[in-house]
Structure 1
C-alpha cells in the first residue's frame, strides 16, 4: 500500500475505507474526488452511506443529466413554508445557491449528499409531521404513519418523483383549507392585522364610536361587508352571531365578555393555531375510514362522518383540565356498545375520591357496591376502612345498571389501554355549558340514544326497535357492531367548517401552546417569515 494511504488510514471514514479496500490496488488511483467526498460526507449517516455505496457513489442530483430531477426536488422544497415546515432544515434557496457556487468535485459531492438528506427530511416532515407528539405531551398517543427511507430513495432513483412529492401531504380537504387560511392570515398580519382591540361592549340597538369599532373589527375579520353604519343593528348582530358560531360561543349576537375576549385575540395567535393544526393533520395522515367517529375535544362534540360528510353530531363533555383526567388523543375502532351498563369505578377514583369518604362514613356513596377481587359483593359493615390506604385497599367499587348510573344507559366501546370510551350520563345540565370539561377522561354524549341509532342503522332496518328492546330488558347486554367503526379522538383549535370557513376554539389543555413552542424550536418560523 502506498505510504500516503497507509499513513491516513486511521482517519478515513468507514465508508471510504471500505470502498478502497474493495478495489484492487491498481484501481485505487481511479477513485474520483467526487466519490471520495460523497463517501466522507455520507459516512455519519448510515442510511445515506448505504444508499451511495450501493450506487457506487454515483450522483442522482448533480450529474449533467439530472437537471429535471433536481428542479423537481428544489421546486417542492421551495414551497415548504406554505406547509408551515422548518424551511432551514431543507432550504431550497441555500441548495440552489450552493449549486451555483459549486466549483470543485468536492463542492458538488457535498451538495449531492445535502440534497438527498433534504429529500428524506422533507418527505418525513410533510407526510408524518415535524414532531414526535408523545415527546411534546404524553397524552397525545398517536402512532405516526412513517415512510421508509428505502421507499423514498427508491423513488428518487427510479420512480415518478414529482408525483411522489405531490402525494406526501395529507389528502384530507381540511389540510388544503388550513394552508389557504395560513397564507391569508400571514397577508392580513402584513397589512397590519385586524386593527385595535375592542375596549368596550356596546349592546344591540346602541349607536356611537363603540359600535363603529365593533363594525370595523368585524369587517377586518371577514364577518361583515363594508358598512358605514354607526348602529348596532340586525346586520351587525348577525355578523356577531357568525363570529360566535365560528368560535364555539353562544350565538346570540350579543357582545358579551367571552365574545369580546375571543374577538380581541390577534391574528398572530390565530396563525399559531393554524400552524399547529397543520402539524396535527400530518400526524393524522392515515386512512380515517369511509365511516368514522370524530371527537374534537376543543369543540366538545362527537360526530359521525360518512364518505366525508357529517351525518350526525352531538354535544360532548370531555375530561377535566387536571393531571390524569385530561382526555387523551388517539385513534382506535369501536367494536360494540353496552346497554344498561354497570360502572366499574376506576381504581384511581375509588382510592382518591371514595376511600377518604368511606373512612369518615362507611355508608357514604351508598349507590356503589363494594366488591372483592372475585367480584363478590362485600358487606360494608364488615370492613374497617380506616386501616387501608390507597396503596393497599383490596376492594373495588361497582354501580349496578340504573337510570342514575354514572355511565347512563349506554356506553360505546373501543377497548384501549387508557380505558376511554363514549357514554351516556345522568348529568344532562352540563351539556348547556360553553366549556364542557368535567369528566374523569371519558367522553360523555348529549344524545347517546340517537348516536346508537345512527350506528345501528348500518346493520339493522329498525335500529330504534333493536336498541329499545335491549334497553327495556333492564339487563346489561352488548350489541356488537358488525362493521367496526374507526374512532378518532382529536384536538383541533383551528379547523375549517363545512363550507371552508375557519373555526377557532380555546386551547383548554394547553397542548397547542406546547406543540407551537416545539415547532418553533424545530425551526418553524412564525408570522409568515419562513420564505
Structure 2
C-alpha cells in the first residue's frame, strides 16, 4: 500500500509559514504606539497642556522635524529609520527624561573634553535646557509647542548619543579617508552598532561600556587632563600629541591575537608580543619619509599639512600574517629602484652590476654581457634586475614573507652599521630587522626548520630556501608617536612621516579648545 500525503505541494505552505513568522518578528520588534501619551506626559510633567497629546498628531510633527533637522544630523538615515520602525515613539523623552537619564548623558557629553573632544559637538546645553522646560509644569504653553519640543529633544538626544558612542568606540576620523598608504583592517560604525546604541535601555551602562579601557588610552587621557608639558614642547603641542594618539587608540584596528609581531614606525622598533607582554624586541630600519628632518610639526600647524603627501619610500601601515621565511633570498629589484638607482650606477661603472651580484634579464632571458649595454639610452622597463644571494644582497641572509599589496616584508641587511643611527627611516619601504636570527627562532621555535635557517644563514647557499611557518603569525606595521612605557613614562617620537599633522588637520575641528582643557586640569 502506497503512502499518500494530503499536502500535494509543501513549498507554498512553507513560504506562508515563513512569511507569518516574519510578520510576527516584525510586529514584536516594532514598538506599539503609546495610546495614553497625553496621560503619561501629564503625569510626569504636571503640565496640563500636554494632557491632550496623542501619538498620531505627534508623529506628524516628528516626521516634519526629522526633515527640517536632517542637515544638522550626522546620521540622518539611521535616526530616521529608527523612528520609522518604532512608530515615531519618543523613547528618550518618555522613558529617560523623568528618571534623570537624559541629564545623565548630558553630563557625559559635557565631559567629552576628557577625551580631547569638544563638548559643544554633543549639544549638552540644548538638551539640558529642553529637559528643564519639560520639568517646569508651566513652561510649555501650547500643544503645538509641546510636540515641537518633544521632537526636537528626541532628535537632539538620539543624534548626540550616536555621535558620542561612535566617537569613543571608533574615533572621529576614518584613517582610510586621510592616509594614502593605510592598509590596516579598521572597523567603522555601521547600522547594527548605531541601532544598538539607540535601543539601549540602560543608558548609564551603555555610556560606561563605551569608555575606552585600553591602559594606554587611560594613561594618555590622564596626561591630557593633567595639562602637563613635554620636554622641548609647548603646552599646546603636547596636547596635540596626546589628542592625535588618543584618536589612534580609538580606532578599531588593534591586535587581538595572543601572539603577534608589531612594528612601530616612528620608534624604529619591532616587538613580538605574547599574551600582552613583549618577549622579543629589536631595532628596525623603516622606509624613508617626507619629514625626516622634522620640518613640519604640530608646533606651528599649517593648514596645508592636512593633505597626505607620502614619500614613495614610506613603509605603509598594514596588518597581515607572516607565513614563511626565505633564507639566502634573491632580490627581485623593483622597477622604481632599478631605473632611479641601479641603471644610473651601471652607467657610471660597467662592472657595478657584477660587483653587486646583480643579474640582468631581458624578456625573461638572462643577459650574458650586461656591461656592453648603453644604460644611458635604455628605457625603464626594458630590463629586469635580480640580485643573487650572498653577502652583497640588500635583503641580507633572510626575509620574512607576508601577503600585502605594497611588496614589503621584514628582512635582514648587510648594512648593520645603520642600526646605530638614531634616525632610522632609511630604507626603500621594507623593514630591516636588527636581529633576524632571533626573530626566526621566536617564530619557528626550537625546530628542524629553525636549525636549517641558522645553518643556511651561516653558510650561504647559491639558491634560496623557503620554509613555511607551522602556524602563521600576525604582523602589524603601525604608527604611534606618543605612548606610556613600562615605567609609566610618557614617550614622544618625531613625526617622521608627517602623519600626525595630517591627522590633526582633520581632527582639530572636533577637539576641545585650550580653555576647556585648562578647565579639566583645574578640576
Normalising by structure 2, report the TM-score: 0.75
Instruction: Choose the corresponding residue for 1:36, options 36, 43, 60.
Output: 60
Q: Structure 1 506/469 Cα, relative in aligned 2: closer, same or farther at 3 Å?
A: same
Match of 1:505 in 2: 493
Match of 2:283 in 1: 315
For 1:166 and 1:337, the matched residues in 2 are separated by: 45
Instruction: Choose the corresponding residue for 2:244, options 270, 276, 286.
Output: 276
For 1:445 and 1:139, the matched residues in 2 are separated by: 21
For 1:38 and 1:375, the matched residues in 2 are separated by: 74
Q: Structure 1 347/496 Cα, relative in aligned 2: closer, same or farther at 3 Å?
A: same
Q: Is the 8 A contact 1:343 1:406 kept in 2?
A: yes
Match of 1:51 in 2: 82
Q: Structure 1 480/74 Cα, relative in aligned 2: closer, same or farther at 3 Å?
A: farther
For 1:109 and 1:147, the matched residues in 2 are separated by: 25
Match of 2:342 in 1: 354
Q: Secondary structure at the match of 2:180?
A: coil
**For residues 460-519 of structure 1, what are the alpha-carbon distances to aligned partners after superposition, in whole Å with 9 as ceiling and x for unaligned?**
456752422443462311222222222121111110111332111111222112212221
Match of 1:246 in 2: none
**Shift of the alpha carbon at 1:80?**
2.0
Q: Secondary structure at the match of 1:63?
A: helix
Q: Secondary structure at the match of 2:80?
A: helix
Normalising by structure 1, report the TM-score: 0.74
Confirm or deny that 1:446 pairs with 2:434: yes
Q: Secondary structure at the match of 2:183?
A: coil
Q: Structure 1 483/172 Cα, relative in aligned 2: closer, same or farther at 3 Å?
A: farther
Match of 1:465 in 2: 451
For 2:175 and 2:197, the matched residues in 1 are separated by: 28
**Shift of the alpha carbon at 1:383?**
3.9
Q: Structure 1 162/420 Cα, relative in aligned 2: closer, same or farther at 3 Å?
A: farther
- Specify every segment of 5 or more residues in structure 2 that has no aligned partner in the other structure, as ranges: 1-52, 71-75, 135-139, 141-145, 291-310
Q: Is the 8 A contact 1:87 1:530 kept in 2?
A: no
Report the more deviating stretch, 464-473 or 516-525. Answer: 464-473
Confirm or deny that 1:167 pairs with 2:215: no
Match of 1:331 in 2: 319
Match of 1:153 in 2: 195
Equivalent pairs, count:
425
Match of 1:398 in 2: 386
**Shift of the alpha carbon at 1:50?**
1.2
- Specify every segment of 5 or more residues in structure 1 that has no aligned partner in the other structure, as ranges: 1-28, 194-220, 222-262
Matches within 5 A, 1:93-492: 93-101=125-133, 103=140, 104-158=146-200, 160-184=202-226, 186=227, 188=228, 263-322=231-290, 323-366=311-354, 367=356, 368-374=358-364, 376-377=366-367, 379-381=369-371, 383-390=373-380, 393-457=381-445, 460-461=446-447, 464-471=450-457, 472=459, 474=461, 475-492=463-480
Q: Secondary structure at the match of 2:391?
A: coil
**Shift of the alpha carbon at 1:285?**
4.5
**For residues 358-394 of structure 1, what are the alpha-carbon distances to aligned partners after superposition, in whole Å with 9 as ceiling and x for unaligned?**
345444333211123436455315644343333xx32
Match of 2:73 in 1: none
**Shift of the alpha carbon at 1:32?**
4.3
**Shift of the alpha carbon at 1:353?**
1.7
For 1:280 and 1:65, the matched residues in 2 are separated by: 33
**Shift of the alpha carbon at 1:524?**
4.3
